[in-house]
Structure 1
Amino acid sequence: MKILMVAIPNHHFFQWVNQLKDSGFEVFWIDANDDGVVSHRIPWVKQVKGWRLNWDYPLRLTLKKRVPGLYKFLQKFNEKSLATAIGESISSVNPDIVHCFEMQLTGFSILPIMKGNNIPFIYSSWGSDVYYYKKRGTTDKEVEDFMKRVDVLISDCHRDVKALKDLGFDKTSYVFPGNGGITVDTTKIKAQKDRIIILFKGYQYDAGEALQIVKAIELLNLELIKNVEFHVYSTDKELENYIKASHVFNQLSYVIHPRHERLKNEELLMLMGKSIIHLGNNLSDGMPNALLEAMAMGAFPIQSNPGGATAEVIEDGVNGFLIENPLDFKAISKLMEDALSDLQLRQKAQDYNVRFIENNYKRATLQPKIIQLYKDTIV
């Protein structure tokens, strides 16, 4: 079986694809961003790179830097579209399946080509892809038109499956985590009493609202957090600047992991295994992979709940806390205070969450099911 995948170079995409390494499938990948560099993350995949430029002429980068206006004009004639690239790849590869990850960045671009063939078409929705589409200027009609061509939907939460069914999608659907599943080293999971870190994601763009977490921390009694080390990962520059200027954070121990210096997943999981609390706060999201990983590593989760997606795995007050208003930093601060003050609650949540992820999101368990869905797609 030949599978042609279309996606941006993304950690979760690479994790998903690597499940298929020993499946017997022949996998091709069109890098929707086309940075021209072959990824070492999936070396066994046949990677379609360098498709964007018709001609990589001498001194092109110098021209781009020194005469950007002229360069932009020339690129109108020198660049291929993603639709052209996938059309060429379909002709050369003759795939049994085309699998598109994300709607706005890749799906809409390749739709004209996919409408012109009957190749089985799988679409994986990610994060805010479905829940936030109106905020991004996408109409119901555009989504309906796209979903008419989709044969199989894979979503990271039940919320988005329902939303697309409400728009008329009535074909096969699956719910799997965006990275395919969780694998953890249980020896790195510390007991709650031995944990010293509060960890949170530093997204402050698009739908991210990590700034509200920082403001919530500033409200906490310093006695409660004086021995805590704060780690902020995937930190946007705006948030980094705010933290460094914060009078409260200047009295605390903290480590910033900038977004452009992507923290390795193994390192992030180790931090989660030492964290008292893990927080994520967004105006929109799907089922956050980081949330599932934090639960697997025993960190007490405090997470925003856009559209009820997070409530699919967190029962508020039992195995974590739900942030119902991502802009209410005072309420978030109270949730943090309650969690920090209740060791017994955190211990029970840790025991529950580690088992829950093992039973429902274990990569080794989900992998054969994911391989089978590709086989079922062409039956």
Structure 2
Amino acid sequence: MKILMVSIPNHHFFQWVNQLEGVGFEVYWFDSTDGGPKVERIKWVNQIKGWKLRWDFPFRNRIKEAFPSLYETMQWYNERSIQDVFEQKLEEIKPDIVHCFEMKLGGLPILDSMQKYKEIPFVYSSWGSDIFYHKEIGIPQTKFQSFLRRINYIITDCKRDYEIAKNNGFVNELLGVYIGNGGLDIDKTKIKAVNDRNTILIKGYDDGVGKACEIIEALALVSFAVLQHYKIIVYSCDQVVADAIANNSFFTNLDVTIYKRGQFVANADLLGYMGQSAIHIANSLSDGLPTSSVEAMGMGAFPIQSNPGAVSEEVITHGVNGFLIENPFDTAEIARLIIEGLTRVVLRETAQRYNVNYVDAHFNRAKLQSKIIALYQNVNLL
């Protein structure tokens, strides 16, 4: 079976596709943004990169910086159309399945091509905000519905997005609800007991959708006497969040470590931080299944998580195995949840036992692999 996958270069995509290594599929990856060199992590995959530029001429980046208008004009002639290149690859590869990941950057750029090749089964994996928040991230309603009408199969990372898809024109088959990266590798040896957890872990996205600055404001409302016993780690931290910490004297005498967005942190190291964290806090206006919080739950950290479109409550019951932030802008309420999360030790102990077992049962990578392989086999048989 030949599978042509379309995605931006993304950690979740690399994890998903690696589930298929060695099972006999002929897998191709069309990098829809043509960003960067070939990826060693998936070197077994036939990677279609370097397709965009007709000529990578000398001093291109210097011209881009110094003469942006001239560069834009030159690129109009120098850049190949994604539609032309993708259709050429369809003719060369003749895939049995096309599978795109995420709508705005993975699916919509090839929609016109897939409308011409309706005989090819088209699978779509939704990620994050591309269904729930499609208008806000710039996907017009007409394009959104046209895309949903074209796809033959959908894989969502939460139940909510399947319902939204059905309400907007999708009438075909759900292949399943799966976490976007295909499953989690949990190292139980790094899961510390509740009394040994000395870290507060924060997801640092603040990009219009992520609202980590509100978490920082909320932390500053918590007593210094409570926080001084903890290390504070902010990962995937946007500059505005780092600035908010640097400019607030409240944090001067606290132990704060920042890993900026784009700064490489090995997934094993991040899971290790989760395994030593008392609480994990993530706050946003939109999301699919909150993968980072699910990872934190699997490592025993107590999740304090926003609940856009009631998605987080698919895995977190408020006051039982975590806390749900119902208003991402309510810093006083977030502060109250942080205090409760840190001080209600018995609740955290109960939640840790439940969450570690729940994540192992529902999101364990080894347990999901055979089901993910079967998804493609089922598409090919229908």
**Normalising by the residue count of structure 2, what TM-score does the alignment of the two structures yield?**
0.97
Structure 1 partner of 2:216: 214
| Native 8 Å contact 2:32 2:109 kept in 1 | no
Structure 2 partner of 1:303: 305
Distance 1:218 1:116 in 2: 55
**Does residue 1:140 correspond to 2:136, yes or no?**
no
Deviating beyond 6 angstroms after TM superposition, the runs of 4 or more aligned structure 1 residues are: none
| Native 8 Å contact 1:234 1:262 kept in 2 | no
Which runs of 5 or more structure 1 residues have no equivalent in the other structure? Answer: none
**Does residue 1:131 correspond to 2:136, yes or no?**
no
Structure 2 partner of 1:370: 372
Structure 2 partner of 1:276: 278
Distance 2:99 2:80 in 1: 20
Matches within 5 A, 1:184-195: 184-195=186-197
The CA deviation at 1:167 is: 1.4
Structure 2 partner of 1:312: 314
The CA deviation at 1:215 is: 0.6
Fraction of identical pairs, as percent? 47
The CA deviation at 1:281 is: 0.3
Given candidates 201, 207, 223, the residue that maps to 1:199 is 201
Distance 2:165 2:35 in 1: 32
Deviations 1:67-107 (A, max 9, x none): 33212101001101222221111111111110111111121
Residue 248 of structure 1: SS of its match in structure 2?
A: helix
Which runs of 5 or more structure 2 residues have no equivalent in the other structure? Answer: none
Structure 2 partner of 1:166: 167
Distance 2:359 2:168 in 1: 31
Distance 1:378 1:148 in 2: 20
**Does residue 1:330 correspond to 2:345, yes or no?**
no
Distance 1:221 1:56 in 2: 56
Structure 2 partner of 1:17: 17
Q: Which moved more, 1:279-288 or 1:59-68?
A: 59-68
Distance 1:74 1:141 in 2: 32
Deviations 1:357-377 (A, max 9, x none): 011111111111111011111
Structure 1 partner of 2:267: 265
| Native 8 Å contact 2:130 2:137 kept in 1 | no
Distance 2:105 2:51 in 1: 17
Distance 1:214 1:116 in 2: 49
Distance 2:82 2:178 in 1: 27
Instruction: Give, as a single letter, the amino acid of the residue that structure 2 aligns with 1:309.
Output: V
**Normalising by the residue count of structure 1, what TM-score does the alignment of the two structures yield?**
0.98
Distance 1:203 1:59 in 2: 34
Instruction: Give, as a single letter, the amino acid of the residue that structure 2 aligns with 1:166.
Output: N
Deviations 1:299-321 (A, max 9, x none): 00000000011000001000000
Distance 2:377 2:63 in 1: 48
Instruction: Give, as a single letter, the amino acid of the residue that structure 1 aligns with 2:296.
Output: A
The CA deviation at 1:252 is: 0.8
Instruction: Give, as a single letter, the amino acid of the residue that structure 1 aligns with 2:154.
Output: L
| Native 8 Å contact 1:210 1:281 kept in 2 | yes
Structure 2 partner of 1:237: 239
**Does residue 1:152 correspond to 2:157, yes or no?**
no
Distance 2:228 2:63 in 1: 53
Structure 2 partner of 1:290: 292
Residue 20 of structure 2: SS of its match in structure 1?
A: coil
Structure 2 partner of 1:83: 83
Distance 1:163 1:11 in 2: 26
| Native 8 Å contact 2:149 2:171 kept in 1 | no
CA-atom RMSD in angstroms? 1.1
- Return closer, same or farther for 1:252/1:370 CA change in 2, 3 Å cut-off: same
| Native 8 Å contact 1:6 1:99 kept in 2 | yes
Structure 1 partner of 2:7: 7
Q: Which moved more, 1:22-31 or 1:266-275?
A: 22-31
Distance 2:373 2:303 in 1: 30
Distance 1:251 1:113 in 2: 57
| Native 8 Å contact 2:124 2:151 kept in 1 | yes
The CA deviation at 1:36 is: 4.3
| Native 8 Å contact 2:33 2:105 kept in 1 | no
Residue 19 of structure 1: SS of its match in structure 2?
A: helix
| Native 8 Å contact 1:124 1:153 kept in 2 | yes
Structure 2 partner of 1:354: 356
**Does residue 1:95 correspond to 2:79, yes or no?**
no
The CA deviation at 1:63 is: 2.7
| Native 8 Å contact 2:210 2:285 kept in 1 | yes
- Return closer, same or farther for 1:96/1:345 CA change in 2, 3 Å cut-off: same
Instruction: Give, as a single letter, the amino acid of the residue that structure 1 aligns with 2:159.
Output: H
Aligned length: 379
